[in-house]
A and B are shown apart, each in its own frame.
Chain A
Amino acid sequence: MPEEKNNEKIKVLIGKPGLDGHDVGVKVVARALIDAGFDVTYTGLRKSPDEIAQAARDTDADVIALSILSGSHIPLCQAMKQKIEEYQLSQKAWLVGGNIPKEDIEALKEIGVDGIFRTGSKLDDIVSFIREKVDERTA
């Protein structure tokens, strides 16, 4: 199992962009990441991409994870991409989870999302993905 970088906790910023209020999944994932030993900050509902990017910068997060179940993932991730560039956060791992049709996976990857976790994803897979990504980037 890869060591966490500098023996410090991996910092994850979880955001809920847009107006979608379905937060069962995001809270479940947050708990799983906390249990995995990560340092988790959750923004709460209805944050703009700008607020999320700022929070990622301010918390010095290694990972930005977004939860979107409304179907608005493409426009929201496009807006998020702009903010990631604006705040120079491109080196951070970027995950998106939620109700995402298979057809949209490629489009999200093209925007720059590193990991896409659709409904039905396993918590442990999310945890290992984050460990690997952060490891890769800090190696």
Chain B
Amino acid sequence: MNEQRKFDIPEIRNESGIAIKPIYTAEDVAASRIEEPGVPDGVGMPGQFPFTRGIHDMMYRKRPWTMRQYTGFANAADTNERFKYLIETGNTGLNVAFDLPTQCGHDSDDPLAAGEVGRVGMAIDTLKDMEVAFDGIDIQNITVSLTINGSASTMIAMYLAMAEKRGFDTTKLRGTCQNDILKEFVGRGTWIYPVEPSVKLVADTMEYCAEHAPFYSPVSVCGYHIRESGATPTEEMAYGFAIASAYFDEVLKRGLDIDDFAYRMSFNYNIFGQFFEQICKFRAGRRLWAKIVKNKYGAKDPKSMWLRMIAGGGGAGLTIEQPENNIMRGAYYALGCALSGAQTIALCCYDEAYTIPSPHAQQISIRTMQLLIEEMGLTDTVDPLAGSYYVETLTNEMEEEMVRIMDEIEEKGGIVKMIAEGELQSHVSRQAYQHQRDLESGEVRKIGVNCHEVEEEDPQVEMHPYNVKDTEEQVRRLNEIKASRDQSAVSSALTKVKQAAVDGTNTMPAIMEAVTAYATVGEIRHELESVYGRFEEPIRF
């Protein structure tokens, strides 16, 4: 407060509520330092606890971030073609979009799927579709991230079964599934079962993969969507850590050691918003997560303490007005991710407020990242902003704020309770409403929306075509598979899925058996739902 008076200028706060000074000095860094045994300056070196400066010692100097653009539409064959285009363009990983029926556990011929098959992602009904989707792609070197949650355990099973069929050794296979169901209750909304069995299913995949696919990351916790739903950047990180901890607690109950599985946990965080705030969010978050896993969970293996993350996206920061401006926003987002030490970047596309991105828009996003690597020298040195008075101070202050938010979650009975009762949803949606009001009043400036507007002709955005014939074709293929599979093997496996759910044992072995016999997504969901029931959404304003 005194500081503000001294400068005699209006106060500015970032979105996380932290006051930003016009000038920072070494004194600010020292005053905000958070004590941690064995880390005299509070920051440490890259590749060493508490990993403020990056989880690897050489970071991008050894290997640039993975470029993992999000795509998927229509059916497995069409998506496979787009995957190959993206790989040719420079994508070094894949990030798979599924249609809503698949995400919610409905087959393409389910009446509830009407009008939605292949609409926002590709339709997957059986293992056959998974085989077609990745045909001809070297999935050991091009790692695949499956963006699915409600029916995640079935998709992981199909993915591992597909890899096995193609001769890959699943004990060496890398890859990721989003599989963060808790955040689906807050944003995105593709939940199926009630909260408790949903968390159990996530723990099933973690336990199963720890033994059978130890390099596969079965969960990528997404502060990302909670941020899009209205959370501040510090809340985004804190909620993500609370959710990851909830999964950890569930797996630990089964007798595993923290170092058996924590090293495969991965995270997905957003990049839209104020530039330095995001960078400091990532640096602070990386450090706080390392401390949580080391100090609270007693991990010994430094890898368990790594905040491995995909950063990027940023759809909520894009505008439908003057869509070309989104290309510039994307460039700053990519720069922010690179300065934050993200392992993987998935960059938004300028046309995504309108449509599924066109190949051209995807190419622009990939080129944006390649420019940073090839022309701008962003991979030359590790954590180049370290030591900046501002960046180090804000990193400290944001860590402190994240700790405060996590304490508050504990006081309120924990994140699982808050989500089950709709308290967290209500909190973030209130903030989203306030944000919208601030946009409309001009309190928060948004170019093209409330300032620097132009009279626009219809922007030339190429709309992604949707063909209902694809649905018919998908249903035809589904029927073909159903007619040709060994029905008794399917029935027997589905009985086991149900039995595992009833007994409370790990459902994954039975789900593996079911998908291998070409059971459908809908059939497996049906068995689980018959035991677990369905989530009833708390409507709270």
- Contact flags B178-192 to A (C-beta < 8 A → 1, else 0): 000000100111110
- Contact flags A79-114 to B (C-beta < 8 A → 1, else 0): 100000000000000000001011100000000000
A75 is an interface residue with CB less than 8 A from chain B: yes
> What residues of chain A lie closer than 8 Å to B113, measured between beta carbons?
19
> What residues of chain A lie closer than 8 Å to B104, measured between beta carbons?
19, 46
Q: Which residues of B (494-541) have their CB < 8 Å from a CB of A?
A: 537, 539, 541
> What residues of chain A lie closer than 8 Å to B188, measured between beta carbons?
21-22
- Contact flags B324-365 to A (C-beta < 8 A → 1, else 0): 000000000000000000000000000001110000000000
How many whole Å from B145's CB to the nearest CB in chain A? 19
Query: Closest B-chain residue to A73, C-beta based?
Result: B115
Indicate if the CB atoms of A31 and B539 lie closer than 8 Å.
Answer: no
A-B contact count (CB 8 A): 92
Indicate if the CB atoms of A122 and B440 lie closer than 8 Å.
Answer: yes
Q: Which residues of A (114-128) have their CB < 8 Å from a CB of B?
A: 118-120, 122-124
Q: Which residues of B (219-255) have their CB < 8 Å from a CB of A?
A: 228-230
- Contact flags B419-432 to A (C-beta < 8 A → 1, else 0): 00000000001101
Query: Closest A-chain residue to B425, C-beta based?
Result: A27
Complex Cα–Cα for A122 and B119 (A): 27
Indicate if the CB atoms of A18 and B116 lie closer than 8 Å.
Answer: yes
Indicate if the CB atoms of A19 and B112 lie closer than 8 Å.
Answer: yes
Query: Closest A-chain residue to B102, C-beta based?
Result: A19
Q: Which residues of B (103-158) have their CB < 8 Å from a CB of A?
A: 103-104, 106, 112-116, 119-120
How many whole Å from B448's CB to the nearest CB in chain A? 9
Indicate if the CB atoms of A27 and B541 lie closer than 8 Å.
Answer: yes
> What residues of chain A lie closer than 8 Å to B191, measured between beta carbons?
21
A129 is an interface residue with CB less than 8 A from chain B: no
> What residues of chain A lie closer than 8 Å to B101, measured between beta carbons?
19
A21 touching B432 in the complex, CB below 8 Å, given contacts A27-B541, A71-B120, A102-B458: no
Chain B interface size, as a band, is 35 or more
Indicate if the CB atoms of B115 and A72 lie closer than 8 Å.
Answer: yes
Indicate if the CB atoms of A21 and B184 lie closer than 8 Å.
Answer: yes
A36 is an interface residue with CB less than 8 A from chain B: no
How many whole Å from A47's CB to the nearest CB in chain B? 10
Indicate if the CB atoms of B189 and A28 lie closer than 8 Å.
Answer: no
Complex Cα–Cα for A48 and B103 (A): 17
A4 is an interface residue with CB less than 8 A from chain B: no
A22 touching B189 in the complex, CB below 8 Å, given contacts A71-B120, A75-B114: yes
How many whole Å from A112's CB to the nearest CB in chain B? 17
Indicate if the CB atoms of B116 and A70 lie closer than 8 Å.
Answer: yes
B275 is an interface residue with CB less than 8 A from chain A: no
Query: Closest B-chain residue to A124, C-beta based?
Result: B440
Indicate if the CB atoms of A32 and B189 lie closer than 8 Å.
Answer: no
B491 is an interface residue with CB less than 8 A from chain A: no
Complex Cα–Cα for A44 and B120 (A): 20
Indicate if the CB atoms of B354 and A101 lie closer than 8 Å.
Answer: yes
Indicate if the CB atoms of A120 and B432 lie closer than 8 Å.
Answer: no
Complex Cα–Cα for A57 and B386 (A): 61
- Contact flags A23-34 to B (C-beta < 8 A → 1, else 0): 110011011101
Indicate if the CB atoms of A19 and B116 lie closer than 8 Å.
Answer: yes
Complex Cα–Cα for A102 and B116 (A): 20
How many whole Å from B36's CB to the nearest CB in chain A? 37
Complex Cα–Cα for A30 and B540 (A): 11
Complex Cα–Cα for A103 and B462 (A): 12
A20 is an interface residue with CB less than 8 A from chain B: yes
B163 is an interface residue with CB less than 8 A from chain A: no
Indicate if the CB atoms of A28 and B433 lie closer than 8 Å.
Answer: yes
B85 is an interface residue with CB less than 8 A from chain A: no
The 8 Å CB contact of B429, one of A21, A24, A75, A123, is A24
B466 is an interface residue with CB less than 8 A from chain A: yes
How many whole Å from B429's CB to the nearest CB in chain A? 4
Indicate if the CB atoms of B432 and A24 lie closer than 8 Å.
Answer: yes
Indicate if the CB atoms of A28 and B432 lie closer than 8 Å.
Answer: yes
Indicate if the CB atoms of A44 and B539 lie closer than 8 Å.
Answer: yes
Indicate if the CB atoms of A31 and B429 lie closer than 8 Å.
Answer: yes
Indicate if the CB atoms of A44 and B537 lie closer than 8 Å.
Answer: yes
Indicate if the CB atoms of A123 and B541 lie closer than 8 Å.
Answer: no
How many whole Å from B402's CB to the nearest CB in chain A? 23
Complex Cα–Cα for A108 and B114 (A): 18
Indicate if the CB atoms of A70 and B120 lie closer than 8 Å.
Answer: yes
Indicate if the CB atoms of B432 and A70 lie closer than 8 Å.
Answer: no
Complex Cα–Cα for A34 and B190 (A): 26
- Given A42-B539, A123-B440, output 12 extra A-B contacts at Cβ < 8 Å: A20-B100, A24-B229, A24-B230, A27-B429, A28-B433, A71-B120, A99-B353, A119-B320, A119-B353, A120-B319, A123-B436, A123-B437
- What are 28 A-B contacts defined by CB distance under 8 Å? A18-B115, A18-B116, A19-B100, A19-B112, A20-B120, A22-B189, A23-B187, A24-B187, A24-B228, A24-B230, A27-B541, A28-B429, A28-B432, A32-B436, A45-B537, A46-B189, A48-B112, A72-B116, A74-B115, A75-B115, A99-B353, A101-B354, A101-B463, A102-B458, A118-B320, A119-B320, A120-B449, A123-B437
A-B CB proximity, top 6 nearest: A21-B189, A75-B115, A19-B100, A44-B537, A27-B429, A31-B433
Chain B residues packing against A (C-beta within 8 Å)? 100-101, 103-104, 106, 112-116, 119-120, 184, 187-191, 228-230, 319-321, 353-355, 429-430, 432-433, 436-437, 440, 449, 458, 463, 466, 537, 539, 541
